[in-house]
Amino acid sequence: MQPIYYGWDAAKEHDQEVGHQLFDRHATTKRTVEKLADGIRTLTTSTDPVTVALLHDHVLAMEERMRKGLVMRRWDPFFPELFRYADEIHQRVEPRPDGILVEAHSGNPYVVQLLYRHAEAVTDFAKRGWEAAREPHQLPPKPTSSLSTPLSQDAPMPTNRRSADDSRPLLNDQSQSPSAVYPQQCRGQGGHRRGRHGPSNVWR
Ligand code: HEM
């Protein structure tokens, strides 16, 4: 179990924007989820190249956030818990031309349950988009041995925040940044600006 951090960091706005775009474009995605004894294997594809680029960006960014404990969606009990246990997840991410394959394993049975729940949550996001975005997710029953730190004891933001020029994994074969790939969609289309400054922002 690792400490997790709430608050603002340099990458958050970008990561929110990408996530909002994914909610907007959820209908172009297809997913298969295999539950393994010790984890999951998921394949998420899209017929839309912009959505594929967004998926690559999102999954690689979330993987990095999990490693650093930089929580998104802290109001949903499930996500802080997933981030707390990120150090017990061994993961392989394979960006593909039409989507992304993720394989995640853990030696901790409770974390395996978290991985199952997370895969189900993503499937629901992909299926219902914004309709699913504001619904919280419950935690699996917790064995007493893996009781986690209460929220109030989680750490404040670290001083070593990510810098704005933090190097990001490549988006696609042309090495374009997300704003180069979808500048129009980023600016004002769709529902992704809904409530972003209020408590209803699903990424905070
Ligand atoms: C507020 C909304 C969301 C949050 C906080 C969120 C967060 C996360 C996190 C923490 C991960 C784990 C990264 C890792 O595997 O290391 C992840 C993975 C993933 N997310 Fe999201 N996500 C959100 C919305 C979405 C949406 C809308 C889509 C697609 C329509 C999506 C697609 C994926 C995919 C494909 C993965 C790879 C893991 C899997 O396939 O189960 N996410 N996300």
- Looking from the CA of residue 119, the nearest atom of ligand 1 is 41
CA distances in angstroms from 3 to 11, 67, 159, 190, listed in the order given = 19, 10, 14, 35
Band the pLDDT of 47: cuts 50, 70, 90.
very high
Q: Is the pLDDT of residue 62 over 80?
A: yes
Atom 8 of ligand 1, nearest CA residue: 62
* Domain count along the chain: 1
Higher pLDDT, 184 or 114: 114
CA distances in angstroms from 96 to 42, 172, 173, 180, listed in the order given = 12, 9, 10, 20
User: What's the pLDDT at 148?
Assistant: 54
Q: What number is the average pLDDT over the span 76-91?
A: 98
Higher pLDDT, 65 or 173: 65
Count of CA atoms in the C-beta half-sphere (13 A) of 203: 25
Domain membership flag for residue 137: no
Tens of pLDDT, residues 142-176: 887 655 555 545 555 554 444 444 443 322 223 33
Within 6 Å (CB) of ligand 1, which residues are found?
19, 22-23, 26, 29, 42, 44, 55, 58-59, 62-63, 66, 72-73, 79, 82, 91, 100, 102, 118-119, 122, 125-126, 202-203
- Looking from the CA of residue 202, the nearest atom of ligand 1 is 1
Q: What number is the average pLDDT over the span 4-32?
A: 95
Rounded percentage of the chain residues whose pLDDT exceeds 90? 67
User: What's the pLDDT at 155?
Assistant: 57
- Looking from the CA of residue 29, the nearest atom of ligand 1 is 30
CB 84 within 8 A of CB 1: yes
Q: Is the pLDDT of residue 198 over 60?
A: no
Domain membership flag for residue 135: no
Atom 14 of ligand 1, nearest CA residue: 63
Domain membership flag for residue 148: no
Domain ranges, residue 82:
1-130
Cα 131 to ligand 1 centroid, rounded to whole Å: 16
Closest CA to 48 of 194, 175, 185: 185
Question: Structure pTM?
Answer: 0.79
Domain membership flag for residue 138: no
Domain membership flag for residue 21: yes
